[in-house]
Amino acid sequence: MPIFIHRVFSYCPSKPRSPLMRLLFGLLGLCLLLMLLVFGVFIGTGMLLFAAARRLLASRKPSAVSAQAGDVIDAEFHIVDKKQASINAQ
């Protein structure tokens, strides 16, 4: 078992010796990186547009607060002085 683990962690793929193959693999890596970058930008833009459209559509609907604007709760209040509200430690 220790020999197998050593083989797994000591594996190091080598670069091809042919300059043409090195160039081909380098271009393939750059194309893959560019494709992932463009894909990520399109996904991010789509998410932002979806959130903006959702927010616009949500603002067009009447909210629950404006629907209950006619309901008023009547209450009384008293202003309390600071001297009266403080706790006197004796």
Task: State residue 85's pLDDT score.
Answer: 56
pTM of the model: 0.47
Task: State residue 16's pLDDT score.
Answer: 81
Does residue 4 belong to any structural domain of this protein?
A: no
The number of distinct structural domains making up the chain is: 1
**Domain enclosing residue 54, as ranges:** 17-60
Does residue 8 belong to any structural domain of this protein?
A: no
C-alpha dist (Å) from residue 35 to 4, 26, 38, 45, 47: 36, 14, 5, 15, 18
Tens digit of each residue's pLDDT (9 = 90 or more) over 5-32: 777 677 777 778 899 999 999 999 999 9
Does residue 11 belong to any structural domain of this protein?
A: no
Task: State residue 70's pLDDT score.
Answer: 66
Task: State residue 3's pLDDT score.
Answer: 64
Does residue 69 belong to any structural domain of this protein?
A: no
13 burial via Cβ count (<10 Å: 0-12, 13-18, 19+): exposed
Which has the higher per-residue pLDDT, 57 or 65?
57
Give the 3-state secondary structure of 9-37: HCCCCCCCCCHHHHHHHHHHHHHHHHHHH
Task: State residue 68's pLDDT score.
Answer: 54
